[in-house]
């Protein structure tokens, strides 16, 4: 391994993002070969021993998977209430992977699973505004005025303004089906936005996260994401990060 920046080395171990690694370095909890390092930009190589908070770390091979979460499972590795989790459906050898964001128990669709802490941070950091696309059905006809308000933003919690891009796909008096794009990561955002106007969400499925799509998966399926797709994803994140800077 050629010399690499210490923050990248720490991030490659899967414990955190490069940004968080910088914070760890500055806080004085990183030691290289028995020497405390607080210098950003410090270089290390494969022979160096790197400790973070007294724990020896090593770079790991990054894995990337797509998972089709069914309804009835929560997005966590453990649940104190004994509810079913997505890890009940995932092969044991992949239990070290973490979901990028969450889907609530009743929601379905795409979850990206990875041990790449830096990518998780980039996909979920509020400043980057990564698009997530959902197909959503509610229990009634939604008025155009209410859809306009959701696009402009509504307060679903004190001091929290939620907004969404909404495209109506099908409509009748008993149902409105929509394609909804979010750029925020607020808890149960879509459900709370429709509850604000008195609607009940009947189904909610995530079909895309950034450039990664659900297409080709059946409920409960988990498949590796191709290297070409990861490269496209990272290029996309770099572009929108620069646009939002």
Cα-Cα-Cα-Cα dihedral sign, residues 11, 15, 19, 23: negative
- Residues with Cβ within 8 Å of residue 227, at least 6 apart in sequence: none
Instruction: Report pTM.
Output: 0.84
What is the residue extent of each domain of the chain? 4-57, 64-126+211-243, 132-209
The reply to whether CATH 3.30.70.580 applies to domain 64-126+211-243 is yes
Catalytic (active site) residue 79: no
Strands 201-209 and 212-213: antiparallel
What backbone torsions phi and psi does residue 157 show, to the nearest 5 degrees?
-145, 160
Distance CA 67, CA 88 (A): 13
Q: Nearest 10 degrees: CA dihedral of 149, 150, 156, 161?
A: -90
In the prediction, which pLDDT does 76 show?
A: 86
In the prediction, which pLDDT does 245 show?
A: 61
Q: List the one residue out of 210, 212, 207, 209 whose CA is nearest residue 227.
A: 212
Give the chain's length.
245
At the fourth CATH level, the homologous superfamily of domain 132-209 is Alpha-L RNA-binding motif (3.30.70.1560)
100: DSSP letter: S
CATH assignment of 4-57, among 1.10.3720.10, 3.40.50.880, 3.40.50.2000, 3.10.290.10:
3.10.290.10
Are both 4-57 and 132-209 of the same fold? no
In the prediction, which pLDDT does 1 show?
A: 57
Catalytic position from the list 48, 104, 139, 165:
104
Query: Each residue's pLDDT tens digit in the chain (245 positions)?
Result: 578 999 989 988 878 888 899 999 999 999 999 999 999 999 999 899 999 999 999 988 899 999 999 999 999 887 778 889 999 999 999 999 999 999 999 999 999 999 988 899 889 988 889 999 999 999 999 999 999 999 999 999 888 899 999 999 999 888 999 999 999 988 899 999 999 999 999 999 999 999 999 999 999 999 999 999 999 999 999 999 887 76
- Which two three-digit tokens encode residue 54? 């007294």
Strands 55-57 and 98-99: unpaired
CA distances, 6 to each of 17, 18, 121, 122, 234 (Å): 12, 9, 18, 19, 21
Ramachandran category for residue 4: left, alpha or beta (phi over 0 → left; psi -120 to 50 → alpha): beta
In the prediction, which pLDDT does 19 show?
A: 86
Distance CA 97, CA 91 (A): 11
Q: List, in sequence order, every residue forming a beta bridge with 136; answer none if it has no partner.
A: 178, 204
In the prediction, which pLDDT does 117 show?
A: 84
């Amino acid at each position: 391994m050629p010399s690499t920046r210490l923050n990248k080395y720490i991030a490659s171990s899967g414990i955190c993002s490069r940004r968080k690694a910088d914070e760890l370095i500055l806080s004085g909890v990183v030691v290289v070969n028995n020497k405390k390092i607080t210098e950003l930009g410090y270089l290390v190589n494969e022979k160096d021993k790197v400790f973070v908070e007294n724990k020896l770390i090593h770079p790991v091979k990054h894995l990337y998977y797509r998972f089709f979460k069914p309804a009835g499972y929560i997005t966590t590795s453990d649940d104190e209430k004994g509810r079913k989790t997505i890890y009940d459906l995932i092969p044991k050898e992949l239990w070290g992977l973490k979901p990028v964001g969450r889907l609530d128990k009743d929601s379905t669709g795409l979850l990206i699973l990875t041990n790449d802490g830096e990518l998780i941070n980039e996909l979920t950091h509020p400043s980057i505004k990564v698009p997530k696309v959902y197909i959503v059905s509610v229990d009634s006809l939604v008025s155009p005025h209410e859809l306009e308000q959701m696009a402009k933003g509504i307060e679903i919690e004190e001091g929290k303004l939620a907004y969404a891009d909404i495209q109506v796909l099908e409509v009748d008096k008993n149902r409105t089906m929509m394609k909804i794009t979010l750029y925020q990561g607020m808890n149960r955002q879509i459900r709370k936005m429709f509850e604000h106007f008195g609607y009940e969400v009947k189904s909610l499925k995530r079909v895309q996260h950034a450039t990664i799509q659900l297409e080709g998966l059946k409920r409960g399926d988990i498949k590796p994401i191709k290297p070409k797709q990861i490269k496209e994803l990272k290029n996309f994140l770099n572009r929108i990060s620069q646009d939002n800077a």
